[in-house]
Amino acid sequence: MTQFSFQQHFDDKIDRDETIEPKDWMPDDYRKTLIRQISQHAHSEIVGMLPEGNWISRAPTLRRKAVLLAKVQDEAGHGLYLYSAAETLGISRDEMYDQLHSGKAKYSSIFNYPTLTWADMGAVGWLVDGAAIMNQVPLCRTSYGPYARAMVRVCKEESFHQRQGFEIMLNLSKGSEIQRKMAQDAFNRWWWPSLMMFGPPDAESPNTENSVRWRIKRLTNDELRQKFVDVTVEQAKILGLTIPDKDLKWNEERGHFDFGAIDWAEFKNVVKGNGPCNKQRLETRKKAWEEGQWVRDAATAHASKRKSRKENEAKAA
Amino acid sequence: MSDNKTTNKSEWPLWEVFIRSKAGLDHKHAGSLHAADFEMAIENARDVYTRRMEGVSIWVVESNNIHASDPGQSESMYDPASDKIYRHPTFYNLPDEVKYM
């Protein structure tokens, strides 16, 4: 096959909505885009454990503690599914870790905000996981097979994450005046960063066009953001919380909620590394990796010792 | 791709994980993970792939021991089967009176 026919074959498969598998021919840009997106997604799961890990020892009840532990463990698992999917594209795990630790690779900038009170565990589960699910559900049908299969698993597990968060908010909103205020305060702080999670507006999103053409993305940033606003506004009503946006209004004509301007300067600033917790998150992550080095080395040494002992025994026999 | 200092220096080998979801069913590919040896691979597979009772049995195979067919050869590999529809029971027209066949 010529380069042209490889490309044609790939395009035809995409058009027929067939999946691309690791050993199939794919354009370099498709591979690069996927490596960037999947590894970024994996890094987000791993760094995403940190703001919550902060609250495991301070959860108000044993039930909440068990739930939070299970959620954080899921996130570790989701990171691992995604790293494996990215590895099928020819990048090594260590290389991805290096990119994260050196700051070359990004993770979702939502995790650069602090979790100040217990209500933040509610808001993170409800809003951040809610936005993540909104992003991830269409990715279950993304064109790259290993990514799609990882996302099916992630989505299946993640719905409890959002529900437990909403439950925390529900309890607080039905609680004392102080608890209700705490819930509103967390909502105020997480609302806008959650909207930013869908990425820059379509007009300024350099990767959207190709990603949609290749069916890596099935919906654009703005479409997903609108969907999120529409469902979340209704959920906030159940909690009796006020959306911190004075421009929020139902638009009869569009059949959607209109919402105020997002502060993209803030978003860019956090992505650049100047958010409230960027430094802390990366340092915690690097420390965990470095301090685990002796464990990895010991396991490798143990495995190779055992292997050679077995070989010697076989020889002697 | 390998110009940085830590790449593959101490990376554990990659394993493919196969899980039997319940007795009587086949083991099915679930995903992959890194581990120093097969025992660690099975323990990690338990934590990564069976947190919600997804399995009753786990197989792990080091990924470099898996050999796969070449997708570039798909036509010569699989197409010859497509013109042999007489291998399927529906190819044969039998009278309606024939029962249990």
CA distance A310 to chain B (A): 13
Nearest residue of A to residue B29 by CA position? A149
Instruction: Kindly write down the DSSP assignment for every residue of chain A, as one continuous string.
Output: --HHHHHHHHHHHHHTTPPB-TTS---HHHHHHHHHHHHHHHHHHHHTHHHHHHHHTT-SSHHHHHHHHHHHHHHHHHHHHHHHHHHTTT--HHHHHHHHHTT-S---GGGGS---STHHHHHIIIIIHHHHHHHHTGGGG-SBHHHHHHHHHHHHHHHHHHHHHHHHHHHHHTS-HHHHHHHHHHHHHHHHHHHHTT-S-GGG-TTHHHHHHTTS-SS-HHHHHHHHHHHHHHHHHHHTPPPS-TT-EEETTTTEEE-PPP-HHHHHHIIIIISSSHHHHHHHHHHHHHHTHHHHHHHHHHHHHHHHHHHHHHHH-
What are the residues whose beta carbons fall under 8 Å from the beta carbon of B58, sequence distance 6 or more?
B17, B18, B19, B20, B42, B45, B46, B49, B50
CB pairs under 8 A between A and B: 71
pLDDT < 70 regions, chain B: 1-9
- pLDDT attached to residue B8: 54
Distances (CA, A) of A195 to A103, A183, A205, A265, A312: 24, 18, 15, 14, 61
- pLDDT attached to residue A232: 98
Q: Yes or no: say if A115 and A124 are a contact pair by the CB < 8 Å rule.
A: yes
Query: What kind and span of H or E run contains B27?
Result: strand B27-34
Instruction: List, for residues A16-32, the tens digit of each pLDDT value.
Output: 999 999 999 999 999 99
Name residue B19's beta-bridge partners. B28, B58
B71 and A24: CB-CB below 8 Å?
A: yes
Q: Which of B38, B44, B40 is nearest to B61 (CA)?
A: B38
Q: What are phi and psi of A312, to 5 degrees?
A: -65, -40
Q: Which of A96, A89, A1, A91 is nearest to A42 (CA)?
A: A96
Residue from B3, B9, B50, B51 whose CB has the most chain A CBs within 10 Å, to mutate:
B51
- pLDDT attached to residue B82: 78
Q: Yes or no: say if A52 and A71 are a contact pair by the CB < 8 Å rule.
A: yes
CB atoms within 10 A of CB A290: 10
A93 and B34: CB-CB below 8 Å?
A: yes
Residues of B in contact with A21 (CB under 8 A): 71
Which ranges in chain B belong to alpha helices (H)? Answer: 38-49, 74-78
- pLDDT attached to residue B9: 60
Average pLDDT, chain A: 94
Q: How many CA atoms lie within 13 A of B51 on its CB side?
A: 19
Q: Is residue B83 less than 8 Å (CB to CB) from chain A?
A: no
Give the closest of B1, B7, B31 to A81, CB-based: B31
Nearest residue of A to residue B15 by CA position? A84
User: Alpha-carbon distance A143 to A13, whole Å?
Assistant: 9
- Write the single-letter amino acid at B61: V
Task: Provide the whole-model pTM.
Answer: 0.91
Per-residue pLDDT of chain A (317 residues; tens, 9 = 90+): 566 788 999 999 999 999 999 999 999 999 999 999 999 999 999 999 999 998 999 999 999 999 999 999 999 999 999 999 999 999 999 999 999 999 999 999 999 999 999 999 999 999 999 999 999 999 999 999 999 999 999 999 998 999 999 999 999 999 999 999 999 999 999 999 999 999 999 988 877 788 888 988 888 999 999 999 999 999 999 999 999 999 999 999 999 999 999 999 999 999 999 999 999 999 999 999 999 999 999 999 999 999 899 999 988 87
- pLDDT attached to residue B6: 41
Residue from A9, A18, A95, A149 whose CB has the most chain B CBs within 10 Å, to mutate:
A95
Residues of B in contact with A24 (CB under 8 A): 71
User: Alpha-carbon distance A169 to A187, whole Å?
Assistant: 9
Q: Yes or no: say if A224 and A198 are a contact pair by the CB < 8 Å rule.
A: yes
A95 and B31: CB-CB below 8 Å?
A: no
CA distance B38 to chain A (A): 9
- First vs last Cα of chain B: how many Å apart? 60
Q: Yes or no: say if B46 and B57 are a contact pair by the CB < 8 Å rule.
A: no
CA distance B101 to chain A (A): 36
Nearest residue of A to residue B2 by CA position? A95
